[in-house]
């Protein structure tokens, strides 16, 4: 760009400067004619090169604005002609004609745009005008689609066709598709305002009517099926001839009209609603209800709450029914069956929805704790399963059952009560040798430990350890002690006091044969274990006695300790009165009477004979050996009866003990909390204590209050001087 | 070390492998033996045979440089596969290929692949364009480059510039604009400015305006013929210039 450069010879820029005043008109006429030919389907004879060049020259000479305006006018004129012809179409040909003209217009528009490409690229952007193609679409929209006569008719035709299809007629879908596509090409606002919104409104009233009709005559399951059908149908309809975005809008309409508006009525429908489906395990209907109401606001929560109240109600009936309470094992089995039933419903129909599972859990927890005998019954159920001779043959089945029982266990609020019963029942099982499988017992302990922590099961494990140790000790006794002569063989189980349920120990005079060897054992044991005390628990234990009856039959009797003491007496006497027996054995009378009843009054096991043959035992009754005793079996078992559920007084006693045990636990919790918080008000203490102890039991607020007062007396806490509700920890 | 194939093979020393291995080889000949048997006038000649082994992993396959442009350039004006001819400046027929032109210019696409006459005509007549200009245009269409000729005058570029604008070849248009800008002088700037304004090239226009209003230049430009034509044909540009000068 140096100005020193030699001036180069440049021809002045020559261009065909049009000085012809009618330049524009001539040029425009050419274009005008060409456009007409295009609209008349005669484009193939036109020269693109000439037309393009004409438009190019116009724009080059700054005639852009005029050209643009002329174009607009021209297209409007053509469109007006088309409009007339569309309006004239009759009946079903209306849409066909509209479609045809739309195609024509589109094709023409492309060619017009091509011819006017230079104007599109140069003039339009700088002057912020609508590009040619878009201009053509806008004009179509304003002149045709939104013209008074066509606008309403178009919408009515479309909606009418849709209605007919809904009522079962077959319609021309491809025509529908091309018409809605036209609306979409004109802009999403055109599609939405001129078609979609009215379509949704009309659909809403259609489905409102339809749902009203169905709900009067259909059962819940049938209605749901119909609703599902309609939803599928609408989705298919949209995919075939509407914009994809309409799908979720029409779905929302159908859901609202058919489901949301009738939700309560459907779910609570008599004889076919949710409750009926639950009772009769109608998995298909339940699955449908779950998936359909997923789309309805509050749908699932309504289902959950109806299900909850039903479960709670039937559960309550189940646990409070006095008939059911007579058989604890059956009672628990029913609970397990109920749990199984609802578990499979949640898995099959509710696609394992966690919130539903949680709802069920809380319902179960609610009704199980309505009956405070449940801890005892569940323990009895486990006891039944773990005893010898149970029905489940293999270990896997037992495992499954125990796992299910653990689920029920989790619902218990008074887990410490369960613990007490479990300990009792376990002790009976272990000591009477009725625990069927050591593995199963230990497996149950592991489950309890996992659930409640090691403190829960440490004592229980102690029981197992005691038995093992006892076995070893007995063996060492026999190995280490010199010849015991004819003394009966004993097998001793040494129980650590803290681990086993406390039993009152009663008096009982052992027969001399037994006494001798047992005292030798005591000496042996205390020799190796200093500072311990051994007490014979005569209310437990068994004995095997070889018997020869008068009629020659020989049997081996398996009896309880008390029964052994009684029977041994008859080695030295033929006839003994009740009073004699009582005096000699020193067994407490209630136990003694039960013992004698089981020896004399049970058919097939009556090794003794009583005179008189009455059921009750009075002081003067006489007992003889039943020399006529026969039994098919060599070994006859006349043991104690199986674990019964507790009688009322026993139950009261256990509960009392549990309540007593709870007091120190509550106090420990209070002290723990106050030590860390230092100052706390009463309500907060109650809340915190409840939270801490909840895994074991639900503490009673009244009891908490009493414990607090007791702690104040013992100067662990003090009341605040100004605020009576505030407590302070005293170090 | 004598090669053991040679007839006058030297016996190598004992294979004291362990020791000599440190040196990389274990067969050696004593110097005294070499001296006595092989030295000629105190000179020993060693003959080697060298075998070079090639490691193919580090020897890549040579790929020749791209040649798309070259192949396409060969097509310019070629009759092979040609499906259209252009008649430019009266008589000359230039052969071309619709697909290539349509790919490079929307105007040619509309013309040659559209629905009007030219789409089916074997020969298309182009008006208002010179043969040389069209040839250069065509060359650009096929090769993306200007024709390799030295003397291309600014006036030639002006015509090519207009043609590129007309046929929507934007890159060519800017290449021409650059060429015009390179050769601009106080004599030519007014013309160039008019050209830029007529064919809507803001880049060229703004540079010309800047050049225009420079102190030294303006006084010289206003006396050129180009300036006169600018005043006649493009009064809005004159206003812009005036506006610039007032700042």
Model pLDDT for residues A441-462, shown as the tens digit of each residue: 888 889 998 888 888 788 888 8
Distances (CA, A) of A343 to A281, A334, A346, A504: 11, 14, 5, 44
A613 and A567 both lie in a single domain: yes
pLDDT of residue A655: 86
> Cβ-count burial of A226 within 10 angstroms (0-12 exposed, 13-18 middle, 19+ buried)?
middle
Model confidence at B159, pLDDT cuts 50, 70, 90, reads very high
Q: Token digits for A476?
A: 């060492």
What is residue B4's predicted lDDT score, i.e. its pLDDT? 40
Give the pLDDT of residue B1: 40
The beta-carbon contacts of A312-321 under 8 Å, at least 24 apart in sequence, are A312/A363, A312/A366, A312/A367, A314/A338, A315/A363, A315/A364, A315/A366, A315/A367, A315/A368, A315/A370, A316/A367, A316/A370, A318/A367, A319/A367, A319/A368, A319/A370, A319/A371, A319/A374, A320/A370, A320/A371
Cα angle, residue A186 at apex, residues A183 and A191 outer, rounded to 5°: 40
* pTM for the full predicted model: 0.72
CB contact under 8 A, A44 and B229: no
Assigned domain for A93 exists: yes
| Nearest residue in B to A57, CA atom | B166
Over range A455-483, report the average pLDDT.
84
To the nearest whole Å, the CA of B191 is away from the closest chain A CA by 7
**pLDDT score, position A425:** 87
pLDDT digits (tens, 9 = 90+) for A251-269: 999 999 999 999 999 999 8
Band (A13; pLDDT cuts 50, 70, 90):
very low
Whether the per-residue pLDDT at A27 is higher than 50: the answer is yes
| CB within 8 Å: B127 and A49 | yes
Q: Are A41 and A84 contained in the same domain?
A: yes
pLDDT tens for A569-593 read 888 888 888 888 888 888 888 888 8
Is B225's pLDDT higher than 70?
yes
pLDDT at A293: 93
CA-based nearest distance A58→chain B, Å:
12
pLDDT in tens, A407-433: 999 999 988 889 888 988 888 888 877
- Residue B174 reports pLDDT greater than 70: yes
- Which positions in chain B touch A55 (Cβ < 8 Å)? none
- The answer to whether residues A628 and A655 belong to one domain is no
- Contact indicator for A559, A542 with CB cutoff of 8 Å: yes
Name the least confident of A159-163, A229-233, A537-541, B3-7: B3-7
Kindly state whether A47 is in contact with chain B, defined as any CB-CB distance less than 8 angstroms.
yes
**pLDDT given at position A14:** 47
Query: Residue B23 has what pLDDT?
Result: 62
The whole-number average pLDDT for the span A365-370 is 92
Percent of chain A with pLDDT over 90: 46
Q: Nearest residue of B to residue A126 by CA position?
A: B200
Token digits of residue B142: 């096929």
Query: A654 and A626 share a domain?
Result: no
CB-nearest partner of B186 from A3, A48, A60: A3
Check whether B56 has a pLDDT greater than 70. no
What 3-state class would DSSP assign to A100?
Answer: helix
Query: What's residue A10's pLDDT?
Result: 47
Angle at A227 between CA A223 and CA A228, to 5 degrees: 120
Quick one: average pLDDT of A148-170? 93
Predicted ipTM? 0.76
Joined tokens for residue A718: 């003090």
Band of pLDDT at residue B3, cut at 50, 70 and 90: very low
CB-CB contact of A89 with A157 (8 Å): no
Residues A671 and A629 in one domain: no
Closest partner residue to A10 among B115, B188, B194, by Cβ?
B188
Say whether both A659 and A599 belong to one domain. no
Structure tokens at B37: 């048997």
**Distance from C-alpha of A657 to C-alpha of A442, rounded to nearest angstrom:** 26
* pLDDT for position A388: 62
Lowest-confidence pick of A216-220, A251-255, A365-369, A619-623: A619-623
To the nearest whole Å, the CA of A46 is away from the closest chain B CA by 5
**Per-residue pLDDT band at A393 (split at 50, 70, 90):** low
Split at pLDDT 50, 70, 90, the class of A3 is very low
Same-domain status, A605 and A661: no
Task: Indicate whether A29 and A135 sit together in one domain.
Answer: yes
- Residue from A2, A10, A43, A52 to probe the interface with B (highest B Cβ count within 10 Å): A10
Task: State how far residue A40 is from chain B, nearest Cα, in angstroms.
Answer: 13
Q: How far apart are CA B102 and CA B105, in angstroms?
A: 5
Residue A195 has pLDDT above 70, yes or no: yes
Q: What is the pLDDT of residue B51?
A: 80
The reply to whether A176 falls in a domain is no
Kindly tell me if the per-residue pLDDT of B141 is higher than 90. Answer: yes
Answer whether residue A19 shows pLDDT above 70.
Answer: no
**Among partner residues A12, A47, A118, which is closest to B118 by beta-carbon distance?**
A47
Contacts of B185 in chain A (CB under 8 A): 1-3, 5, 7-8
Q: What is the dihedral of CA A427, A430, A434, A435, to 10 degrees?
A: 110
Task: Give the mean pLDDT of A403-408.
Answer: 91
Domain finish residue from A115, A143, A171: A143
A586: its two tokens = 């020193």
Residue A266 included in any domain: no
Residues 657-686 of A with CB under 8 A from B: none
Whether pLDDT at B12 is above 60: no
- Strands A554-560 and A635-638, by their bridges, are parallel
Q: Does residue A295 belong to any structural domain of this protein?
A: no
| Cβ–Cβ gap B155/A2 under 8 Å | no
* Option in B111, B162, B217 nearest A48 (CB): B111
Q: What tens digit of pLDDT does each residue of A54-75 get? A: 999 999 988 999 999 999 999 9
Tokens read off for A369: 């704790």
Q: Is residue A709 part of a domain?
A: yes
Collapsed DSSP state (helix, strand, coil) of residue A116? coil
B153·A8 Cβ contact <8 A:
yes
A45–chain B Cβ distance below 8 A for any pair: yes
Instruction: Examine residue A139 and state whether it is found in any structural domain, yes or no.
Output: yes
pLDDT for residue B6? 42
- CA dist B112 and B124 (Å) reads 9
Query: pLDDT category, A180, cuts 50, 70, 90?
Result: very high
Q: Are residues A132 and A58 in the same domain?
A: yes
Q: C-alpha B192: how far from its chain's center? A: 26
Joined together, the tokens standing for residue B80 give: 């092979």
Which residue in chain A is spatially nearest to B207 when comparing CA positions?
Answer: A1
Look up residue A632 and give its two tokens: 């098919």
Please tell me the total count of domains within chain A.
3
Band the pLDDT of A626: cuts 50, 70, 90: confident
In the listed set A93, A120, A143, which residue is the last one of a domain according to the structure? A143
Confidence label for A9 from pLDDT (cuts 50, 70 and 90): very low
Is B198 in CB contact (< 8 Å) with chain A? yes
How many residue pairs from chains A and B have C-beta atoms closer than 8 A? 95
Q: Is the pLDDT of residue A644 over 70?
A: no
Cβ distance of B114 and A122 shorter than 8 Å:
no
What CATH code is carried by the domain that includes residue A34?
Answer: 1.20.1310.10
Enumerate the residues of chain A whose CB falls inside 8 A of the CB of residue B198.
Answer: 15, 60
| B132 near A CB under 8 A | no
Last residue in a domain, options A576, A604, A635? A635
Long-range pairs of B138-141 with CB within 8 A, sequence gap ≥ 24:
B138/B76, B138/B77, B138/B94, B138/B96, B139/B73, B139/B76, B140/B164, B140/B169, B140/B172, B141/B100, B141/B101, B141/B104, B141/B105, B141/B169
Mean pLDDT, all residues of chain A: 87
User: Hey, are the CB atoms on B185 and A5 less than 8 Å from each other?
Assistant: yes
**Residue A344, pLDDT above cutoff 70:** yes
Looking at residue B2, its pLDDT comes to 41
Q: Which of A:1-30 have CB within 8 Å of B?
A: 1-3, 5, 7-8, 10-13, 15-17
pLDDT of A210 reads: 92
Residue A641 has pLDDT above 60, yes or no: no
pLDDT, tens digit (0-9, with 9 covering 90-100), for A668-692: 999 999 999 889 999 999 999 999 9
Cβ contact, residue pair A46, B183, below 8 Å = no
Residues 6 or more apart from A161 whose CB is under 8 A from it? A171, A172, A176
Cβ of residue B152 closer than 8 Å to a chain A Cβ: no
Residue A382 falls inside a structural domain? no
Residue A84 lies in a domain: yes
- The pLDDT-based confidence of B151 (bands split at 50, 70, 90) is low
- Judging contacts by C-beta atoms under 8 Å, the chain B residues touching residue A53 are 127-128, 166
Rounded average pLDDT over B184-209: 89
Compute the distance between CA of residue A525 and CA of residue A470 in angstroms, rounded to an integer. 10
What's the whole-number mean pLDDT along residues A144-170? Answer: 93
For residue A241, the tally of other CB atoms under 10 A from its CB is: 21
- Who wins on pLDDT, B163 or A2? B163
What percent of chain A stands above pLDDT 70?
A: 95
What is the reported pLDDT for A640? Answer: 58
Interchain proximity B187–A7, CB inside 8 Å: yes
Contact across the interface for A13 and B195, Cβ inside 8 Å? yes
**Contact A29/A35 with Cβ under 8 angstroms?**
no
Residue ranges making up the domain that contains A117:
20-143
Are the Cβ atoms of B168 and A49 closer than 8 angstroms?
A: no
Mean pLDDT over residues B81-98, rounded?
Answer: 88
Q: What is the pLDDT of residue B18?
A: 57
pLDDT of B13 > 70? The answer is: no
- Please name the residue of chain A whose CA is at the shortest distance from the CA of residue B198: A60
Residue A654 has pLDDT above 60, yes or no: yes
Residue B188's closest chain A neighbor by CA? Answer: A10
Residues A39 and A122 in one domain: yes
A2 pLDDT band, cuts 50/70/90, is very low
Using the Cβ of A615 and the Cβ atoms of chain B, whether some distance falls under 8 Å is answered with no
Cβ separation A111–B195 shorter than 8 A: no
Q: Are A600 and A606 in contact (CB under 8 A)?
A: yes
Residues A660 and A559 in one domain: no
CATH number at residue A563: 3.30.230.130
A569, A599: one domain: yes
What CATH number should be reported for the domain holding residue A702? 1.10.10.10
């Amino acid at each position: 760009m140096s100005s020193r450069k030699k001036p180069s010879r440049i021809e002045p820029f020559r261009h065909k400067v049009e000085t012809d005043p009618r330049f524009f008109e001539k040029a425009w006429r050419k274009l005008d004619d060409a456009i007409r030919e295009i609209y008349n389907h005669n484009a193939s004879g036109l020269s693109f090169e000439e037309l393009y060049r004409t438009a190019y020259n116009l724009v080059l000479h700054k005639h852009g604005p005029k050209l643009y305006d002329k174009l607009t006018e021209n297209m409007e004129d053509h469109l007006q002609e088309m409009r007339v012809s569309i309006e004239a179409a009759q009946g079903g040909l209306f849409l066909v004609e509209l479609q045809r003209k739309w195609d024509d217009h589109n094709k023409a528009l492309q060619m017009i745009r091509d011819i006017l490409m230079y104007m599109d690229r140069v003039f339009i952007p700088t002057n912020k005008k609508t590009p040619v193609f878009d201009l053509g679409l806008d004009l179509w929209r304003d002149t045709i689609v939104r013209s008074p006569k066509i606008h309403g008719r178009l919408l009515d035709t479309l909606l009418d066709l849709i209605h007919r299809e809904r009522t079962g007629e077959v319609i021309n879908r491809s025509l529908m598709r091309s018409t809605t596509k036209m609306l979409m090409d004109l802009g999403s606002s055109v599609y939405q305002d001129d078609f979609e919104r009215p379509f949704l409104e009309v659909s809403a009233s259609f489905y409102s009517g339809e749902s009203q009709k169905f709900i009067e005559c259909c059962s819940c399951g049938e209605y749901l099926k119909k609703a599902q059908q309609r939803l599928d149908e609408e989705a298919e309809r949209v995919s075939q001839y509407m914009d994809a975005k309409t799908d979720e809008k029409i779905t929302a309409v159908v859901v609202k009209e058919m489901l949301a508006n009738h939700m309560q009525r459907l779910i609570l429908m008599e004889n076919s609603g949710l409750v009926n489906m639950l009772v009769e395990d109608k998995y298909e209907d339940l699955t449908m209800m779950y998936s359909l109401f997923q789309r309805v606001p509050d749908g699932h929560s309504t289902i959950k709450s109806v299900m909850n109240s039903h479960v709670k109600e039937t559960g309550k009936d189940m646990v409070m029914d006095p008939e059911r309470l007579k058989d604890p094992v059956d009672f628990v089995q029913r609970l397990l069956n109920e749990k199984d039933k609802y578990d499979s419903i949640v898995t099959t129909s509710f696609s394992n929805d966690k919130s539903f599972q949680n709802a069920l859990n809380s319902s179960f927890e609610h009704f199980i704790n309505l009956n405070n005998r449940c801890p005892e019954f569940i323990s009895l159920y486990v006891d039944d399963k773990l005893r010898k001779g149970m029905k489940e043959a293999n270990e896997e089945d037992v495992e499954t059952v125990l796992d299910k029982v653990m689920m029920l266990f989790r619902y218990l609020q008074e887990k410490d009560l369960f613990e007490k019963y479990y300990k009792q029942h376990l002790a009976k099982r272990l000591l009477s040798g009725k625990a069927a499988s050591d593995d199963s017992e230990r497996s149950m302990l592991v489950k309890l430990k996992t659930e409640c922590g090691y403190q829960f099961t440490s004592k229980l494990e102690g029981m197992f350890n005691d038995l093992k140790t006892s076995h070893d000790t007995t063996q060492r006794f026999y190995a280490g002690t010199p010849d015991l002569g004819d003394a009966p063989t004993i097998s001793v189980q040494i129980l650590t006091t803290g681990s086993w349920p406390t039993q009152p120990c009663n008096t009982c005079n052992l027969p001399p044969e037994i006494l001798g060897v047992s005292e030798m054992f005591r000496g042996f044991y205390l020799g190796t274990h200093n500072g311990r005390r051994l007490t014979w628990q005569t209310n437990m234990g068994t004995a095997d006695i070889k018997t020869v009856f008068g009629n020659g039959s020989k049997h081996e009797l398996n009896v309880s300790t008390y029964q052994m003491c009684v029977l041994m007496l008859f080695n030295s006497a033929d006839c003994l009165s009740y009073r004699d027996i009582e005096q000699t054995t020193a067994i407490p009378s209630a136990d003694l009477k039960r013992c004698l009843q089981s020896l004399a009054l049970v058919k097939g096991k009556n090794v003794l004979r009583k005179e008189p043959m009455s059921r009750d035992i009075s002081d003067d009754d006489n007992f003889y050996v039943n020399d006529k005793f026969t039994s098919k079996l060599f070994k006859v078992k006349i043991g104690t009866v199986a674990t019964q559920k507790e009688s009322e007084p026993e139950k009261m006693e256990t509960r009392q003990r549990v309540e007593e045990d709870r007091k120190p636990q509550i106090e420990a919790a209070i002290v723990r909390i106050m030590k860390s918080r230092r100052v706390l008000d009463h309500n907060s203490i109650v809340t915190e204590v409840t939270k801490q102890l909840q895994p074991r039991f639900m503490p009673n607020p009244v009891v908490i209050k009493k414990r607090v007062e007791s702690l104040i007396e013992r100067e662990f806490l003090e009341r605040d001087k100004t605020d009576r509700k505030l407590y302070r920890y005293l170090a | 070390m004598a090669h053991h194939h040679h007839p006058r093979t030297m016996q190598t020393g004992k294979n004291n492998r362990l020791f000599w291995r440190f040196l990389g080889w274990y067969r050696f000949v004593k110097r005294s033996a070499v001296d006595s048997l092989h030295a000629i006038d105190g000179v020993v000649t060693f003959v080697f045979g060298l075998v070079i082994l090639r490691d193919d992993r580090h020897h890549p396959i040579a790929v020749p440089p791209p040649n798309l442009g070259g192949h396409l350039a060969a097509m310019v004006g070629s009759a092979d596969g040609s499906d259209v001819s252009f008649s430019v400046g009266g008589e000359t027929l230039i052969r071309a290929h619709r697909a290539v032109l349509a790919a490079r210019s929307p105007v040619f696409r509309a013309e040659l692949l559209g629905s009007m006459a030219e789409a089916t005509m074997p020969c298309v007549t182009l008006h208002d364009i010179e043969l040389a200009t069209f040839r250069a245009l065509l060359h650009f269409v096929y090769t993306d480059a200007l024709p390799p000729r030295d003397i291309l005058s600014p006036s030639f570029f002006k015509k090519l510039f207009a043609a590129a604008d007309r046929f929507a070849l934007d890159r060519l248009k800017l290449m021409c604009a650059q060429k015009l800008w390179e050769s601009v002088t106080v004599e030519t700037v007014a013309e160039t400015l008019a050209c830029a304004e007529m064919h809507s090239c803001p880049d060229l226009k703004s540079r010309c305006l800047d050049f225009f209003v420079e102190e030294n230049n303006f006084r010289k430009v206003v006396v050129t013929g180009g300036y006169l034509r600018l005043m006649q044909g493009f009064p809005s540009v004159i206003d812009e210039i005036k506006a610039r000068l007032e700042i």
